[in-house]
Every structure is written in structure tokens, then in C-alpha cells.
């Protein structure tokens, strides 16, 4: 038995990574693969049996995972994001939940044929558009910042709100049947929610003070926050069922917006954990699903789901968009995308049987309807969000851009060369005067600090996937390479050393954080400056057949030319580094970027050969 359980754990872990890698490789949302693998491992093959693996711990374990996922998502909610979408987000958060609840409940009663207590409870569950699904979709679809911000805030904040709607509905109708419901019910639960909110807010400020005053060592900060999130979540649930989701959401939003120390490192670790938790939870839930449950759906149930997807959701968002500056395309996209996730499925599994036990007719229909909504919305919205956003021109098509930190005549000329080949490029410097020539050359520039919080919201970093750190400060170059290496991948961040002065090992910056050397360790700022003054210029040349352009396929310097990188047919720039064996591939690469002596002496970019 022990060996069987161990094998199940291994299968879940391997399946999770396999689904995520496959999704990354083929640019398809991972949720689809996770659902598919869950069905194959559970109902189809029986290799994974969550009830046998975890027993009674399955439900609290999933609840704890959801709490951590929601907390990590709330850490991504910054009030500065709302500059352009403040009114839209406010309308969606304040009006979207209640309006959606009313419309869904009415449809569940009149279309699905559920009695009002069951319909209203189901309506609360289906308000949820959980972060377990919406966050991966937003990450892969690369929506423009405005519509992406609205969907992200809605998904994270509506998650606990929908749960509270469903729980309060269930408890109210049960209490009313027993003759205990009344004004006191709402006052009592309202005060409980207010107390939970205030405690969570105060707790965030306490954490900030503990971190800033050095009362917690760095290596304990992440475990400390983990334990606090779980303690707060389960503690609040003792006062009011599932109210812990509101508590951890408020805690995360507050911590993120009061600039708590060390939060960036904590976010990175939590993103990694969240990725594994989302994968594991989806596989466990689908593996635990009884396929016969879905067979209980009748034509009324399917008609209700169709109304939910194509009438209620668009109508709800249309009402919320009134008075905002959202465009017709943004309203159309956001009004269609509303996938349900783990929380909706988990709540259905809890409240459906409870309503049936309490004697409400139709309680047994909640589970099949909710699971069908989860499956249909996850698959449908995962497959359509990117094509629809692209058709509506709401996606950032430019994803192969290059950020160059450091504005010099040679870096401006390199930026011009890339721009002529359709590569998005951004020059960043905190010296306004050095950016003047770049502005005159019509090169996009950003005047400011690349590592500031302001820059994170001012620049659309999703448009870029390559960084060249070329400032005269090697420590600063290493710092921005370390930050963007996490975003773009360590193989896509490069730095140029100011000089090649030999330093002792104890004075060298760790190679693990300083990025790849641009061309070679011998290629320094001083060397590029010297070549530039000697009329060396960057240019591009088409990659031809190997036999015709053999000299260009060898990434080595000669007296008149050195290889800088290649541009693929898809527009992806790959700079050369001595750490990589970069060679132009005629079938994949269209242009080579070289720096060569300008024999004409006019210092201009010659274009393609």
C-alpha cells in the first residue's frame, strides 16, 4: 500500500511538470493539459485515487492550497495599476459581483428549474472567476494592460466574494427553515466579516513592522508568511466558513501596497509554489471526479450553462462598463472571458450535498452544473482568449523586443539597426541628455530608473524578451540582469563589462546573477567605443546558403568584422555570447547582426547585404 501511494505522488508530480512544459512548448494554456491528464489518471485509468491517497485530508489540503494561491495572486494587485482602469475596476468589483449573482440566480431558477434557495446559492458560486485559471490565461495571452488589469482584479477579488455569497445564502436558508433567520443574522455575519477585514489589514502592517525592524531573519520570512497565511485562513474559517479567503486576499493586497521589505523575493518563491499547487490541485480535483456526476445534467442544465456564458456574463460586464472609458473591443473580450476554477468546484462539492441533506430539492444538481461550468469555461476560454484578443487587437503582438540599458552613440546605432528590421527596441537611461540623440533618431526611450516600481507600471515589459545591460556600473548591470533573468530567462539577458581589468575572485560578481557576456568577456564598453570611433558600425546581412556565406556562420572575430547576433524569421533576436555556441541557421534565421568596419567612413548603417 505504501509503495502504491508513493507511486501516485510521483505520477502527480511528473504529470504536473509535463503539463506545464507541454503548455510552454506549444503556447497553449496549461489548464487544458492538467484537466486532460486528471481525467486520464483518475476516471479513465484509475492510476490516481485522491480519496485513497489523502482520505479526509483531501478537502482541507485543497482549501489550504487555494488560500496560498489566492494570497500569491493578491500580492500582484498594485493600486498603481489602476491609473487608467480605476473606474472600470471599481465598477466591476462593486457592481459585477452583485449583478452577476442576481442574474445567475434568476437563470438557475427559471431556466435550470432549481428552487430559489438552491438557485441563489449556486449563483454565489458561479460569480467566482478564480485566479487559478485567469492568471495563467493572462500570462500566456499577453493582453494589453488595461483589459488584463480588469480581469486580474476581478478574478482575485471576486473569488472570496463569490464564496461568501454562497456560504451566507446557504446558512441563511438553513437558518430560515429552522426559524432563526432575521435581521440579527445579517448583523452578526456582517460584523464578523468587518472584524476579519480589520484584523487582516492590521496584520499586514504588523508584518511590515516586523520585517523592517529586523525581528525576522531573511531565511525565515517566507516560511513565516506561509504559516501566517494558513493560520489566518483556518482561524477565520472557524468564525465563518470560507471567510479565510477574504482574510488572505486583504492581507496580500495590503502587504503589496504598503511596500513591505523583502516582498520581491517572497513573491518569486510563492510563484513557484503556486505553479505546483495549481497543477496538483487541478489534477487531484479532476482525478477525484465521478464521471457519472456529469451524466445527471439534463437539457435545462445545458441551456442554463449556455445562458450563463453567452447572455448573463456579457450583460453583466456591459452594465459594469457603463460610465467607464473601456472600448467596445475590451468590453466584448472581458464580457466573454470568465473561467471558473478550483474554488467553484470545491464549493460545489461541499454545499451541494449539504443542501440535499438539509432537505432542499435540487441540491444534488449543483455539483454536476458547477463541474460542467468549470470544464466548459476552462476549455472554451483557454482556447479562445488569445485568438479573440488578437482579432480584437487587444494583445501585445510585439513580444520579441530588446531593452538596452545605457544610451551611447553606438547603442543608439545598434537600436537603429534593430528597428530597421522590425525589432521593437527600448533605450533606457536616467540621464535625459544622453537620450537626446536617440529621440532625434526616433528610437523609443524611457527616462527613469529601470528597477523602480514606477517603471514596472509605465513600461509594458511583455513586449520585450531580451535585455542588454550596458551601463558603466558592473554591479548595476548584474542587478538588472538578475531581475530580468527571472522574467525573460537567464539565456536572454546580457551585460557588457566597462573594462577587462583582471580582478581577484573575491572582488568578482557572481556569474550566476550577472547575465551572459555580450559577444565575449573581452568585448568591453571601452573596446566597443574604440571600434565605434574607428568607424565600426552595426549592420545586418541576410543569412544565405552555408556554402555561399561560410565566413558569416562562424562566430569569431576577424580584423574587420565580428558577429553580434542573429534575427530569426519570427523576429526573435539572439545575441552572441561566448557562453553559447550561436550559429546562424538558414532555415530558421533571416538576418545576422554584425559589427564591421565601415569602409566608406560615413558611419551610417548600410542595411542588408
From 263-272, 393-402, 486-495, 506-515, the region with the lowest mean pLDDT: 506-515
Looking at the structure, tell me whether residues 232 and 254 fall in a common domain: yes
Task: For residue 284, give the nearest of 127, 124, 132 by alpha carbon.
Answer: 132
> What are the CA-CA distances from residue 565 to residues 405, 408, 570, 577 (Å)?
18, 19, 15, 9
In this predicted structure, the answer to whether residue 406 has a pLDDT above a threshold of 80 is: yes
What average pLDDT does range 84-97 have in this prediction? 85
The CATH number that applies at residue 153 is 1.20.1530.20
Q: Domain for residue 50, yes or no?
A: no
pLDDT value at residue 609: 39
Q: Domain for residue 46, yes or no?
A: no
Q: Is 184 exposed, middle or buried (0-12, 13-18, 19+ CB in 10 A)?
A: exposed
Q: Domain for residue 326, yes or no?
A: yes
Looking at the structure, tell me whether residues 430 and 379 fall in a common domain: no
Looking at the structure, tell me whether residues 356 and 415 fall in a common domain: no
pLDDT value at residue 452: 74
In this predicted structure, the answer to whether residue 382 has a pLDDT above a threshold of 80 is: yes
pLDDT value at residue 318: 94
Q: Domain for residue 358, yes or no?
A: yes
Tell which wins on pLDDT, 272 or 16: 16
Residue 510 — very low, low, confident or very high, per pLDDT cuts 50/70/90?
Answer: low
In angstroms, the CA 338 to CA 53 distance is 32
Q: Domain for residue 1, yes or no?
A: no
Looking at the structure, tell me whether residues 208 and 356 fall in a common domain: yes
In angstroms, the CA 573 to CA 567 distance is 5
pLDDT value at residue 440: 87
The CATH number that applies at residue 532 is 3.40.50.720
DSSP code of residue 509? P
pLDDT value at residue 208: 92
% the chain with pLDDT above 70:
89
Looking at the structure, tell me whether residues 372 and 416 fall in a common domain: no
Q: What is the pLDDT of residues 550-590, one digit of tens each?
A: 444 444 456 778 888 888 887 888 898 876 666 556 666 67
pLDDT value at residue 601: 57
DSSP code of residue 425? E
- Three cell numbers at 83? 491609473
Residue 606 — very low, low, confident or very high, per pLDDT cuts 50/70/90?
Answer: very low
* Max intra-chain CA distance, the chain: 95
Looking at the structure, tell me whether residues 324 and 422 fall in a common domain: no
- Residue 140: half-sphere exposure toward Cβ, Cα within 13 Å: 23
Looking at the structure, tell me whether residues 252 and 204 fall in a common domain: yes
Which of residues 391, 421, 436 is at a domain's end?
391
In this predicted structure, the answer to whether residue 270 has a pLDDT above a threshold of 60 is: yes
In this predicted structure, the answer to whether residue 104 has a pLDDT above a threshold of 90 is: yes
Q: Domain for residue 507, yes or no?
A: yes
pLDDT value at residue 183: 75
In the chain, the N- to C-terminal Cα span, in Å, equals 69
Q: Which domain holds residue 158?
A: 59-391
Looking at the structure, tell me whether residues 448 and 377 fall in a common domain: no
pLDDT, the chain, mean: 83
Looking at the structure, tell me whether residues 475 and 378 fall in a common domain: no
Q: How many residues does the chain have?
A: 609
Which of residues 391, 420, 453 is at a domain's end?
391
In angstroms, the CA 326 to CA 321 distance is 7
- Return the number of other C-beta atoms located less than 10 Å from residue 124's C-beta: 25
In this predicted structure, the answer to whether residue 507 has a pLDDT above a threshold of 60 is: no
Looking at the structure, tell me whether residues 378 and 455 fall in a common domain: no
What average pLDDT does range 60-88 have in this prediction? 81
In angstroms, the CA 317 to CA 60 distance is 33
In angstroms, the CA 83 to CA 336 distance is 24
Q: Is 267 exposed, middle or buried (0-12, 13-18, 19+ CB in 10 A)?
A: middle
Which of residues 359, 391, 423 is at a domain's end?
391
Q: Domain for residue 470, yes or no?
A: yes
Looking at the structure, tell me whether residues 571 and 489 fall in a common domain: yes
Q: Domain for residue 396, yes or no?
A: no
Number of structural domains (the chain) is: 2
pLDDT value at residue 233: 93
From 28-37, 387-396, 408-417, 598-607, the region with the lowest mean pLDDT: 598-607
What average pLDDT does range 111-117 have in this prediction? 93
Tell which wins on pLDDT, 580 or 303: 303
Q: What is the pLDDT of residues 320-342, one digit of tens each?
A: 999 888 899 999 999 999 998 77
In this predicted structure, the answer to whether residue 495 has a pLDDT above a threshold of 50 is: yes
> What are the CA-CA distances from residue 519 to residues 104, 188, 460, 523, 531 (Å)?
59, 67, 27, 6, 14
Looking at the structure, tell me whether residues 259 and 296 fall in a common domain: yes
Amino acid at each position: 500500500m505504501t509503495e502504491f501511494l508513493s507511486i501516485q505522488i510521483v505520477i502527480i508530480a511528473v504529470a504536473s511538470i509535463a503539463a506545464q512544459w507541454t503548455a510552454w512548448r506549444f503556447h497553449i494554456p496549461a489548464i487544458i493539459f492538467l484537466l486532460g491528464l486528471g481525467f486520464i489518471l483518475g476516471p479513465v485509468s484509475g492510476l490516481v485515487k485522491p480519496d485513497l491517497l489523502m482520505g479526509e485530508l483531501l478537502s482541507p489540503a485543497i482549501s489550504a492550497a487555494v488560500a496560498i494561491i489566492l494570497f500569491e495572486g493578491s500580492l500582484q494587485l498594485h493600486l498603481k495599476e489602476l491609473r487608467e482602469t480605476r473606474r472600470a475596476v471599481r465598477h466591476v468589483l462593486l457592481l459585477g459581483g452583485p449583478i452577476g449573482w442576481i442574474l445567475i440566480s434568476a437563470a438557475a431558477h427559471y431556466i435550470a428549474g432549481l428552487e430559489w434557495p438552491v438557485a441563489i446559492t449556486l449563483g454565489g458560486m458561479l460569480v467566482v472567476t478564480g485566479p487559478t485559471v485567469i492568471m495563467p490565461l493572462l500570462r500566456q495571452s499577453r493582453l494589453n494592460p488595461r483589459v488584463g488589469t480588469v480581469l486580474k482584479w476581478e478574478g482575485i477579488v471576486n473569488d472570496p466574494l463569490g464564496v461568501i455569497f454562497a456560504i451566507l445564502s446557504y446558512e441563511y436558508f438553513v437558518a430560515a427553515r429552522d426559524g432563526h433567520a432575521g435581521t440579527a443574522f445579517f448583523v452578526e455575519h456582517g460584523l464578523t466579516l468587518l472584524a476579519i477585514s480589520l484584523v487582516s489589514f492590521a496584520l499586514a502592517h504588523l508584518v511590515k513592522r516586523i520585517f523592517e525592524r529586523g525581528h525576522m531573519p531573511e531565511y525565515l520570512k517566507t516560511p513565516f508568511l506561509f504559516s501566517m497565511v494558513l493560520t489566518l485562513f483556518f482561524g477565520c474559517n472557524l468564525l465563518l466558513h470560507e471567510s479565510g479567503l477574504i482574510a488572505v486576499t486583504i492581507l496580500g493586497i495590503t502587504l503589496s501596497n504598503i511596500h513591505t521589505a523583502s516582498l520581491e523575493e517572497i513573491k518569486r518563491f510563492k510563484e513557484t509554489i503556486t505553479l505546483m499547487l495549481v497543477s496538483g490541485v487541478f489534477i487531484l480535483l479532476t482525478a477525484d471526479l465521478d464521471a457519472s456526476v456529469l451524466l445527471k445534467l439534463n437539457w435545462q442544465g445545458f441551456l442554463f450553462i449556455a445562458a450563463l456564458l453567452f447572455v448573463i456574463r456579457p450583460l453583466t460586464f456591459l452594465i459594469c462598463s457603463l460610465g467607464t472609458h473601456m472600448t467596445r473591443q475590451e468590453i466584448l473580450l472581458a464580457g466573454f472571458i470568465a473561467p471558473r476554477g478550483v474554488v467553484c468546484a470545491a464549493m460545489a462539492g461541499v454545499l451541494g450535498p449539504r443542501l440535499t441533506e438539509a432537505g432542499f430539492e435540487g441540491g444534488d444538481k449543483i455539483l454536476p452544473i458547477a463541474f460542467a461550468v468549470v470544464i466548459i469555461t476552462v476549455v472554451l476560454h483557454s482556447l479562445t482568449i488569445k485568438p479573440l484578443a488578437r482579432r480584437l487587437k487587444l494583445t501585445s503582438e510585439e513580444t520579441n523586443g530588446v531593452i538596452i540599458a545605457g544610451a551611447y552613440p553606438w547603442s543608439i546605432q545598434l537600436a537603429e539597426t534593430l528597428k530597421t528590421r522590425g525589432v521593437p527596441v527600448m533605450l533606457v537611461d536616467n540621464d535625459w541628455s544622453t537620450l537626446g540623440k536617440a529621440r532625434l533618431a526616433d528610437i523609443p526611450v524611457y527616462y527613469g530608473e529601470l528597477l523602480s516600481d514606477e517603471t514596472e507600471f509605465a513600461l509594458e515589459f511583455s513586449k520585450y524578451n531580451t535585455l542588454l545591460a550596458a551601463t558603466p556600473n558592473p554591479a548595476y548591470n548584474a542587478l538588472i540582469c538578475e531581475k530580468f533573468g527571472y522574467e525573460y530567462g537567464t539565456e536572454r539577458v546580457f551585460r557588457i563589462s566597462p573594462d577587462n581589468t583582471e580582478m581577484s575572485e573575491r572582488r568578482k560578481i557572481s556569474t550566476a546573477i550577472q547575465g551572459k557576456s555580450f559577444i565575449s568577456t573581452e568585448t568591453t564598453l571601452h573596446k566597443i567605443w574604440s571600434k565605434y570611433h574607428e568607424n565600426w558600425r552595426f549592420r545586418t546581412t541576410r543569412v544565405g546558403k552555408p556554402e555561399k556565406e561560410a565566413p558569416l556562420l562562424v562566430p569569431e572575430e576577424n580584423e574587420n568584422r565580428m558577429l553580434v547576433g542573429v534575427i530569426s524569421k519570427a523576429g526573435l533576436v539572439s545575441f552572441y555570447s561566448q557562453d553559447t555556441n550561436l550559429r546562424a541557421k538558414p532555415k530558421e534565421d533571416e538576418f545576422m547582426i554584425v559589427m564591421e568596419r565601415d569602409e566608406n567612413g560615413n558611419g551610417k548603417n548600410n542595411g542588408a547585404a
